[in-house]
Amino acid sequence: MQIPGIVTLFLIALGSTIPVCPLLAVEQETRSVVDLVERARRRSAENGRLKSAIGIASCEQWEQRLGASQTRLLSKSRLHVYFDRGRYHLRIEYEPILAQAASGQSGKSIPAKRVDDNPDSRVLIDTGQNIYVVSFSKGSRPTGCSGGLYPRTPVFSPYHDAGIPWHEPARLWRDTLDLNELITEKGAESLRVMPTNSGGFTAEYAVGKVPSWIYVDPKTMQVTVDRTFNPLQDGPVHEKILRWKIQDNIWYVDRLIDIWDDRELAKKTGRSGGRVKWVITFESFK
């Protein structure tokens, strides 16, 4: 953990300034930082108390390709989440994304066409070992549905194909830094901590050689911003912004904004790139 610089405290008494031992000041300031991190670690550990939940959320995916002037909506859906001890039953209802209506040469209006390739709805069942996916669409011949069975691996995720780039929709915090896990495995010294005036703190850490940064909110003592950087890009390549709520003494994330942005990196390397933003917001959660 980063030790704050030496701070000399002064006691104002009877119009005189009496210096206090600098080492004592450093010890007190260091202790306050250690206490801050320990409070956040304990709160992070408490998040594991969420064992089951039922919720309804709205999901959107937006994209702005490199060089494009506008952001376009790729996917919009309503997500029904049933969660129990690491297993999921998801029902996803997709809203059609229509191209802007136009007029033909004769002046007649051309009906807007659907431009997304999502089905009408999809059911995903995750047993913890395998994932079953069934998609329903009027255009799917001859039965109106199609399906598949996939192993649950970190390499390929049917969740992402379904427009949900998170492995645990009910426990969205698991896709950000787990402070309790990091400190338990690598120690508090793996964090470079800087307290904020508001009572929270920021911290730098690394996953392998990838530099990352978090902000811990003083009101919730939870990670509310998690950023990942690339040395070739000034801004973050990946940023997650979390909003926390508490219900029945259990914390959960009721909104997550998840942004991938490699446009600056793409310009420097000559590769294709863009900015993709996912937003998931729970309307109900219990």
Least confident of 55-59, 120-124, 161-165, 196-200: 161-165
The reported pLDDT for the residue numbered 14 is: 35
The pLDDT of residue 194 is above 90: yes
**How many CB atoms are located within 10 Å of the residue 260 CB?**
17
Read off the pLDDT of residues 108-136 as tens digits, 9 standing for 90 and up. 656 667 777 789 999 999 998 999 999 99
| Mean pLDDT calculated for residue range 160-167 | 82
For the chain, the average pLDDT equals: 85
The tally of CA atoms less than 13 A away on the side-chain side of residue 67 is 6
Read off the pLDDT of residues 250-269 as tens digits, 9 standing for 90 and up. 999 999 999 999 999 898 88
Q: How far apart are the first and last CA of the chain?
A: 37
Highest mean pLDDT among 4-8, 52-56, 61-65: 52-56
**How many CB atoms are located within 10 Å of the residue 113 CB?**
11
pLDDT classification of 241: cutoffs 50, 70, 90: very high
The reported pLDDT for the residue numbered 2 is: 43
Nearest Cα to Cα of residue 58 among 272, 284, 276: 284
The pLDDT of residue 10 is above 90: no
- The pTM of the full predicted model, rounded to 2 decimals, is 0.83
